[in-house]
Amino acid sequence: MAKNFSKKIAKKKPADGPVDLPLRPGAKRVYESPSRQRQADETRKRIADAARRLLEEIGYAGMTIPAVAKAAGVAVPTVYAIFGSKKGIVAELLDAARFGEGYQSLLAEAKSVTDPMVLIEFPPRFSRRIYEAEIPVENLLRGAGMVAPELASVEEERNCQRYDSQVMVIDALDRAKLLRPGLSRDAARAVLWTLTSREIFRMLVRERGWTGEQYETWLRSALRRELVDA
């Protein structure tokens, strides 16, 4: 099942990039000015902030597109144009929590690593940071024990992306011939993806009361034990 994840969200792109066609006589090129982009970013943030306030004040059911538009002081079509749907707003709120400055700093650190045995230390750090950061927003979305369908859909997409992004760790271990004997590359990807799942974090941290540090320490040991010939 996991090997098909990327196909669910992949978008086709031209093989050699977009073609720059010549303009017809008298036509003018349209350029995006920095001020226009800044205004678009500010509008996007204003809508997301309004949605977050509605979640806190009246809950998920009350966070309708018209209510978000009114709270943000924009037209309903503007919300649809930027986010597409309620699911798009949910994704924005979760991603804002998950992929902030701390995540970006950790990502930059990981990109500078070339040693496979150092690289394998990063999935536990990423998992803890992301899953801890999303807890406040998830609590708002889940409400009184109910999971919003948009939340489940966003989580499925992020699981696809996690499976794709983790391949660099497995490839590094495979090239260095460090994978445990008898463990294929595909099986190793499945093990890494499973052990870093959101479900395991929830069970250990949110249900069994582990600290984030305990979870990260366990995950680090589990990955070494299951993946590496050491």
User: Domain extents for the chain?
Assistant: 33-84, 95-227
Residue 82 contacts residue 65 (beta carbons within 8 Å): no
Structure tokens at 104: 């970006």
* Higher-confidence position of 23 and 83: 83
Q: Which of 69, 66, 68 is nearest to 54 (CA)?
A: 68
* pLDDT for the residue 177: 94
pTM of the predicted protein model: 0.74
Q: Determine the pLDDT at residue 15.
A: 36
pLDDT digits (tens, 9 = 90+) for 112-161: 999 999 999 999 999 999 999 988 888 887 764 445 677 777 888 888 99
Higher pLDDT, 153 or 24: 153
CATH superfamily of 33-84: Homeodomain-like (1.10.10.60)
Are 216 and 125 in contact by the 8 Å Cβ rule? The answer is: yes
